[in-house]
Structure 1
């Protein structure tokens, strides 16, 4: 039985900051961002947006094309948790009006947990072939101002429906996995922004890349030449290029940039979306020109701290009849440009406490974060 991603859609935030605008304000050469990081702009949430509203929007698009009554689990992956107890997916479950007969849980391990949720969903369908599982990866990457991470911020959500006999890609059995206890990136409970050891983080990412690959090759006897396209986790797209080059060096096989180029189109514009990053890469690859039917994709998922997985997926015949690049284009093009000063005001206005607050109506998206009442987050679905 084949199991994989049957449908996929995305959402991002209301605002966008062009990195040329940031470069001008900070007196930095724009090439530092465009070439040094491989980024052009990043999404910025409005005060009435968060991981739940973006997740609900992406998921609602998937559900509009499928039967919600068949969903048996909602698996929500994020490192931007909004509650230490309640899963963000429970809020999404309510906003979408899903049946009560649904298991809902949250996954966390930095940027990797979207893949953990995907593999858990595949395992559920393997045991219960009639089940369908909604996997959502949604995050807001928010760093301290004037930090090295500030230009690599971003926001976005990817929703995927996991089923037997999928329309888009089949997840092949057998992954390469890797774990190492590294303090390269972390966010304590009392901090609204993470701490990063830049050089250590890059080294940990590269070590995990080749370590997970070696395990995949050993588990399945797979050669790097058996893969037709690669998608690497993209905290910024230049890091994916570095990982690809390191994999080529490690395997002794020339791996051209043409094998990864298409996968970076969306992340250059959205910025870092943590758990959703790899799957924005997958969406970009599926939406690119050319027929991928029958091609094997290699996907490298990484989460700081660190945990990684290298796995493969095979694109299905007729997949192009079930992709929706117009939704991505609409999400990106409707964003409202910010000046640098406006962006910094939004950054400073971040709501990190649970005091009562009513958020201003800004976004026109189908779901809003309306505020906090008696320490409980409030949401609304618009008709």
Structure 2
């Protein structure tokens, strides 16, 4: 993996950070790292993905949060139009997806994903699609597949009752860390990704520990300076939904009230993700002159997804000069970084040779490891989300389902 990292790292890394990264790689390897060495995880995902591809023209994913965010990131990265996502119980979105697929139900597969197998939103979506399908005289359960933990739950009971194939989800991998399990990789295989390359990209993260250590040290330095906002600015529309995946990973993992010992947790910068020159025309003004303390990490592929260029401009603006579109985008990124530095806002850069299947695997694991390392460094649990349960409980109370 050709990665160029231009960062503002301190000369020496915090002493506690080195053993934390070593533990993540070896002694205390979490599930999301373990699966990189688990051949069955990859062969199972490839098998199911190819079976789905042979049977269906399109898929609808019923999942929310970590059960859909990674899949969305992959679909956006490939600009796939064959996978749709139901990840909100907004009636307008449900109707929109249904209207897209209702005329080709026999060729539509339904992938139901939930780690717990018990969530309110997923069960509500199942009931709604079941009713719409019945009205259309079609049994959507015969085209359904379930990805969940292999334990007793509403979804495993449904799989038994309706004879729905069940694809097991690893019990030691949290939802927001699950993109490289069947949760994301079955979809990746269906969309034509090379899973071997995704896996190789993820494994390559630990071959570049020096760069990972440098970025983690940089983020610790600016967190300790009471930085308010971490901005991940990707100069590629391919990463628009990766940005959203990263938002969840960072926020749920690091936004904690207490440390392991019950002390007040340090304030971790809030994360905001921006995309290319689009957000130069939306939030750039506030980033430059707003009062918050910020740290910005930019990323771009040096080789474009497409080689589009114009050679004979008809508008006076370009002074008869033709340009590759990617050159204009690169100039925008460099100019933005230069302006930020003039405003004394710290800016680092991750530059990839190209965004291919290996690069997306690398990006997923890079930020998973970085997030987990920061959690351990600040003595908070990066794998739970205790506050989220309150909203779920209150919603069930309002619906009189408790």
Higher strand fraction (1 or 2): 1
TM above 0.5, yes or no, is: no
- Tell me the TM-score normalised to structure 1 length: 0.28
Bigger Cα Rg: 2
Question: What's the TM-score, normalizing by structure 2?
Answer: 0.27
Higher helix share: 2
